[in-house]
Copies of this chain bind each other. A is one copy, B any other.
Amino acid sequence: MQLYSYFRSSAAYRVRIALALKGVAFEYVPVHLVKGEQRDDRYRAVNLQSLVPALIDEGRIFTQSLAIIEYLEERYPNPRLLPDAPAERARVRSIALSIACEIHPLDNLRVLQYLVRTLGVSEEAKNVWYRHWIDLGLSALESQLASDRATGTFCHGETPSLADICLVPQLANARRYNISLDAYPTLTRIDSSCRALDAFAVAAPERQPDAA
């Protein structure tokens, strides 16, 4: 199994956590996003979307982090990253998607580059944009998790799930941009519980072979 990854990509970070939780060995293939290697023909032969991560398993190529993780969940069911009951699975997926669809896409590298290079937005306004979408998304998530008895040590109960896999990389991004997380005590408590686990620790950006 091969994972095309960039150490700072939070979508790749999600898949690294899932692989580590499931104990699946893989070869790490770096794709340098800031140098633009994702747009080279070599990588476009793997993923026409020019996005990381991509996973190769048994000669097949898989793209989109959440689709990859659902695939891993079906192929390597233990430990489970989704609960059993449909309503609970929906809760976990909804938390994951509220990060993957509402926060992360707006703060993606290529979006920030478009703001600056094409729209001529100042560095300061770009940073305000970055914080705006993180704060909007995390505020809603904090209220949601703090008020729901289904929240436990982790986003859902007492074992890490797909929701935590999305939360931890998003908070790492927020920290990298020096965004205060004081308003999110539930999220930071869960984040700490996660990062105390080996699987989350080995998947962290600074532990990857291509870390700057």
A71 touches B50 (CB 8 A): no
Binds B, one of A1-9, A60-68, A188-196, A199-207: A60-68
Q: Which of A87, A90, A100, A106 has the most CB of B within 10 A?
A: A90
| Among candidates B67, B118, B140, residue contacting A93 with C-beta atoms closer than 8 Å | B67
Are B106 and A89 within 8 A (Cβ)?
Answer: no
A-B contacts besides A118-B132, A119-B129, 15 pairs, CB < 8 Å = A48-B144, A49-B98, A50-B140, A64-B101, A67-B91, A67-B94, A67-B97, A70-B93, A71-B87, A71-B89, A71-B93, A74-B89, A101-B104, A105-B105, A115-B119
Interface residues of A (CB under 8 A from B): 48-51, 60, 62-64, 66-68, 70-71, 74-75, 86-87, 89-91, 93-94, 96-98, 100-102, 104-106, 111, 114-115, 118-119, 121, 125, 128-129, 132, 140, 143-144
